[in-house]
């Protein structure tokens, strides 16, 4: 049966149908040859593509396409062959194989289409890449800022140590110098000393003055070593930071400030920065969540321990997610949308509180159904006893 199928003795070559008219024969030969060659070049290109690009999606689909086009090309070469040799069975089998692979490819291409469409385009990839690069750049910048802040804090601590040592030396030395100076001056003022003794007393006095100037310079060094560290009023500084912060226009602000000044020791600039970070944090938390209007309460008063003061900011920003907890004081931990916050503000505020001998803590404010806001509290040592101003 198979043998008789390939028995083609009584069939005429296809050229007979064309009556061997040379122009017709050559038109078919050249067209089929060109089409077949073109078809066969495409799978080669696909093969090179699949082999070189290891990351290509659906490589088997490319192989199927390659086979489909290879077979298409083969049918065109078979068409040339049968012009002279009537092997229509071989041509038919080739066409049948082409049909099989073509139909399979046509069936496969439809379910594949949505998956191919879902692949990110080179443009998508490029913009995602650009966004990533920008984020890396931003992180690098904020990391550099954090490092600078840390170095500043270390430097501040180092200079404070030098300042303390200088102040101590100046104080201890000034006591005996003071006694020498006072007694010598008193002896000289008595007017009882003979001229040689009076001259001696005057030399001693001059030298104690010189020592006095030297001590003045050591005191000055001590103050300089402490940097901008000075005593300032935390109440006034908090008020100033509040005035410098842009709060939402519809925000309801309540202020509870003591009547007397609350002195703290440290850098006024750093303190202001810490309070500003807390204010910005509260503002951003309230911008992100309902309900309106945002409510912010700022309270300055006695701290939880004797000799401390507390600056507390209570916001209506929904509170800190439990999952974050104390991690909010770590660098780069933020609940804000990307690019809305660096995640450094609270870390910097906490470092500043620490450098001033205090701390920063928080608690969530509950209304029975869950957290409605957060209360951030800056606890700092009061620099010396409190004074009630004279009436």
Partner 1 sequence: MNPLRVLMAEDEVLAAEVLEDALAEAGFAILSAEDGQAALELADGHGFDVLLTDLRMPRMDGRELIQRLRQRFPGLPVVVMTGYDPGAEEVALHAGGGPLRLLAKPLRLADVVAAVIDVAGARFRPGFAP
Binding footprint of partner 1 on the chain (CB under 8 A): 167, 170-172, 174-175, 177-183, 185-186, 189, 208-209, 211-212, 215-216, 219, 222-223, 230-231, 233, 261, 263, 383-385, 387-391
SS3 annotation, 304-363: CCCCEEEEEEEECCCCCCCCCHHHHHCCCCCCCCCCCCCCCHHHHHHHHHHHCCCEEEEE
Closest CB to partner 1 among 309 and 344? 309
At residue 199, the 3 state secondary structure works out as helix
* Phi, psi torsion values for 69, nearest 5 degrees: -70, -35
The least CB distance from residue 350 to partner 1, in Å, is 26
The least CB distance from residue 378 to partner 1, in Å, is 20
CA 281 to chain centroid? 16
Could you give the C-alpha distances from 52 to 66, 119, 288, 357, 361, in angstroms and in order? 15, 19, 49, 63, 57
The least CB distance from residue 191 to partner 1, in Å, is 12
Closest CB to partner 1 among 97 and 218? 218
The least CB distance from residue 267 to partner 1, in Å, is 14
The least CB distance from residue 193 to partner 1, in Å, is 16
The least CB distance from residue 276 to partner 1, in Å, is 23
Closest CB to partner 1 among 174 and 308? 174
At residue 125, the 3 state secondary structure works out as helix
Read off the tokens for 106: 């046509």
Closest CB to partner 1 among 145 and 178? 178
Closest CB to partner 1 among 9 and 391? 391
Closest CB to partner 1 among 235 and 350? 235
First to last CA, the chain: 127
């Amino acid at each position: 049966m198979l043998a008789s199928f390939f028995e083609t003795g009584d069939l005429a070559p296809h050229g007979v149908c064309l009556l061997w008219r040379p122009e017709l024969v050559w038109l078919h030969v050249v067209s089929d040859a060109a089409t077949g060659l073109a078809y066969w070049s495409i799978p080669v290109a696909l093969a090179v593509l699949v082999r070189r690009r290891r990351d290509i999606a659906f490589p088997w689909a490319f192989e199927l396409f390659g086979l489909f086009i290879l077979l298409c090309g083969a049918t065109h070469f078979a068409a040339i062959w049968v012009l002279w040799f009537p092997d229509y069975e071989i041509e038919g089998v080739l066409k049948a194989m082409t049909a099989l692979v073509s139909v399979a490819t046509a069936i496969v291409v439809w379910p594949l289409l949505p998956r191919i469409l879902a692949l990110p385009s080179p443009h998508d990839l490029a913009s995602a890449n650009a966004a990533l690069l920008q984020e890396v750049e931003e992180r690098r910048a904020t990391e550099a800022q954090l490092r600078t802040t840390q170095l500043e804090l270390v430097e501040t601590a180092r200079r404070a140590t030098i300042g303390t040592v200088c102040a101590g030396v100046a104080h201890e030395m000034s006591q005996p110098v003071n006694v020498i100076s006072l007694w010598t001056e008193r002896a000289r003022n008595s007017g009882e000393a003979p001229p040689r003794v009076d001259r001696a007393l005057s030399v001693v006095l001059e030298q104690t003055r010189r020592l006095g100037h030297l001590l003045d310079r050591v005191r000055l060094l001590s103050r300089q070593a402490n940097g901008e560290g000075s005593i300032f009023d935390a109440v006034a500084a908090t008020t100033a930071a509040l005035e410098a912060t842009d709060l939402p226009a519809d925000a309801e602000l309540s202020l509870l400030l003591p009547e007397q000044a609350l002195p703290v020791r440290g850098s006024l600039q750093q303190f202001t920065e810490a309070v500003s970070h807390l204010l910005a944090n509260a503002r951003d938390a309230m911008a992100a969540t309902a309900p309106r209007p945002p409510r912010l309460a700022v309270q300055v008063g006695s701290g939880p321990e004797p000799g401390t003061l507390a600056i507390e900011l209570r916001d209506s920003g929904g509170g800190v997610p439990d999952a974050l907890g104390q991690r909010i004081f770590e660098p780069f931990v933020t609940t804000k949308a990307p690019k809305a916050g660096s995640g450094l503000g609270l870390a910097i505020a906490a470092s500043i509180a620490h450098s001033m001998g205090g701390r920063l803590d928080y608690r969530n404010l509950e209304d029975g159904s869950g957290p409605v806001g957060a209360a951030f509290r800056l606890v700092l040592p009061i620099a010396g006893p409190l004074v009630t101003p004279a009436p």
